[in-house]
Chain A
């Protein structure tokens, strides 16, 4: 079976690829969103740490 024939699933093509496409979008979103979240958390933690150290500096000065 060639690729066009594979992509052409008869009368139900739109529904089949629509369903697989929707599932793919949800899966990708479920990968991207936590990774963005992870980066955000790390950024905030680094900022917290920097702020904390500055405070200590101010106290020692």
Chain B
């Protein structure tokens, strides 16, 4: 029974993810197209920022996903480390490049938004600096993974980094409240009325869902390749490869 738990999980995930990828990809594409149409065309101009605020529709979803992916990565890495769950190790590892991409996009689009609105591409305020640290955490995690050949040891060493780095997440979130920053506080919170007019809020939510499903889609695609490679000596992989040659 324990053997099934330990060795069955990656294969089951491989099959499940394989059947889900087309649906997730289709959903992502629809949300992305509709979100872009609404955000770039349907939504009205902002009373202060004119059209420049439309950068929000990619900046904010990427910033959110950069943090969510990090939390997911840290939790998965911790689960892999504590309970020796190989699937969790794999999912944590393939989350890193996606999370790093979200962080980089959030930083670059934020910079391109900052120049016309704030008057500068970059400032070292607490919000921007902590988001930059998040990017380095992702890069450090990937470098550590790449530097150790044995997958189990690589997973354990990098798990420690991922878990320690999770303290940066509340710092990013609360930086705009704890310290004076140039970056404005959140427009959307769980407790307060949204500060975004409804016709601007709908595209923002659409784009956020689009990037979330994009993450899930690519997580499945990346995890499947990683599973195949790690299980290359398992019977089910040999059979699968044999049947497709």
Task: List chain A positions with a Cβ less than 8 A from chain B.
Answer: 1, 6, 9-12, 15-16, 18-20, 22-23, 26-27, 29-31, 33-35, 37-38, 41-42, 44-46, 48-49, 52
B95 to chain A, nearest CB (A): 12
Q: Report the contact-size class of chain B (Cβ under 8 Å from the partner).
A: 35 or more
**Also in contact, A49 and B225, with CB within 8 A (given A6-B41, A16-B52, A19-B112):** no
Interface of B (DSSP majority class): helix
| Interface status of B157 (Cβ within 8 A of chain A) | no
Task: List chain B positions with a Cβ less than 8 A from chain A.
Answer: 40-41, 50-52, 54-55, 58-59, 62, 97-98, 101, 104-105, 108-109, 112-113, 115-116, 214, 218, 221-222, 224-225, 228-229, 232, 237-238, 241-242, 244-245
Neighbouring A residues of B214 by C-beta, 8 Å: 27, 30
A49 to B242, CA, bound (A): 7
Q: Name which residue of chain B comes closest to A40, CB basis.
A: B225
Q: Name which residue of chain A comes closest to B233, CB basis.
A: A48
Flag if B112 contacts A38 (CB, 8 Å). Answer: no
Flag if B51 contacts A45 (CB, 8 Å). Answer: no
Neighbouring B residues of A19 by C-beta, 8 Å: 55, 58-59, 108-109, 112-113
Q: List 17 A-B contacts (CB under 8 A).
A: A9-B51, A15-B112, A15-B116, A16-B54, A19-B58, A22-B105, A29-B101, A31-B218, A34-B221, A41-B225, A45-B228, A45-B232, A45-B237, A46-B241, A46-B245, A48-B232, A49-B242
Flag if A35 contacts B116 (CB, 8 Å). Answer: no
